Structures are given as structure tokens and as C-alpha cells.
Homo-oligomer: A and B are copies of this chain.
Amino acid sequence: MLKRGEDIIKVRVITENEGKAKEFIELGRAFGISVEIIRAPKIEIQSEDLREIAMYSAVNALTYVKDRVIVEDAGLFIDALNGFPGPYSSYVYRKLGVKGILKIMDGVSNRKACFKSVIAYAAPAGSVKIFEGVVYGRIALNAKGREGFGFDPIFIPEGESRTFAEMSVWEKNKYSHRARAFKKLAEWLRTAFKASDTHT
């Protein structure tokens, strides 16, 4: 964690998702990074690869933020559905909801799934870096819980019996894909900023 007297490293996160914003602020606290949320839309390309989507969005955001910025793209990948809904999770959530996924998964015995998060960091000096986090688990038989957002009510991480939506932000951050990606970002930022006093 951050030592007293050390400069606070600040990053701007572009997101319009209040659930994500809440998690990022909490993650910033946990890892000693000052997180500023910029509630702006981001341009996202269509791709089955979260890394491509996130990198493209980050570089695009850099052109108007003009300072170091991160964007995150995440998705729920269900084994039995060839990775669906994947990068289109938020769209599928808006259209079909958790009920739609439970209907598609009705009678499907292989419930394996994972949440993936990709954080793309872009800085004016020209660096773009990717940090990935994954949490494995399974699709619940029924939706449970009211915390979190998106498909949290139907995802049970490995080693747990509760869904993400049955956990507080703090608890979810112990397991979550987003927390794992953010931890890597925080460690890299700390090393990078120690190596350079110019802070760019």
C-alpha cells in the first residue's frame, strides 16, 4: 500500500456504469491509487477480444482527456455457450436480462463460466498497457442477491456458495476479475512512477 509522504498516483477512469464506478473508487482506496471517474461515453469497437476493445477505447479517450486515462471492458464468458455473451454482456443484459441467460442455460449441466476484465491504460507519452483479470465460477440455477450489477446475481465464484450479488463491494473485490486486473495496474503504476520522476 501507499507509504506516508509518497505521491498519490492519480488515474482517470472513463465509465458511464455506476456499479463499475463504485468498484473502481473502492479499488483505488484499497491499492492507494487516486481514482477520478469521468462519466463519459467511450467508443467501443466490435470484437470478440476484450483487449482490442479496451485498447481502442483507451487510445480514443486519450485524444480528449489529454492525460493518463484508463478504460475497462469486461464480460461474462459461459463455456456451454461458446463464450457468449462475452464482450457484449452489457448489451445482452439490457436486452435479455439474467432471466434470458437462465432460460438459455435451462437444462444445461455444464454451468462453467468466467468473468474477464481488461483494463487498458493510455498515457500521452505514448504508452498503452493492458492488465487482465479473470475469476472462474459457475452460473447459478436461480438469480440471487441485489448487490453489484449486470450478471452478478447469477455468477457464483469458485470456492463460494453465494453469487456476486450477495456480496458487498468489498467482498466482491476479494475475488473479482476487475479487482485482479486493477491490482496488476496498481503494481505497475507504482513501479513505473518510482522509476520516473516526470510522472508521465
Contacts of A44 in B (CB 8 A): 45-46
Picked from B43, B53, B88, B106, the residue with its CB within 8 Å of the CB of A91 is B88
**Contact call A48/B81, Cβ cutoff below 8 A:** no
Count of residues in A whose CB is under 8 Å from the partner chain:
22
Bound form: Cα–Cα A144–B58 in Å = 44
| Cβ of A192 under 8 Å from chain B | no
Task: Scan residues 79-117 of chain A and give those whose CB is less than 8 A from a CB of chain B.
Answer: 81-86, 88, 91-92, 94-96, 100, 103-104, 106
Residue of B nearest to A56 (CB): B43
Contacts of A95 in B (CB 8 A): 81-86
Q: A53, A82, A84, A91: which has the most chain B beta carbons within 10 Å? A: A91
Bound form: Cα–Cα A163–B83 in Å = 28
Bound form: Cα–Cα A128–B83 in Å = 36
Q: A45, A48, A83: which has the most chain B beta carbons within 10 Å? A: A45
Residue of B nearest to A100 (CB): B104
**Contact call B103/A84, Cβ cutoff below 8 A:** no
> Nearest 7 A-B pairs (CB), nearest first?
A84-B95, A44-B46, A82-B95, A88-B88, A46-B46, A45-B45, A43-B45
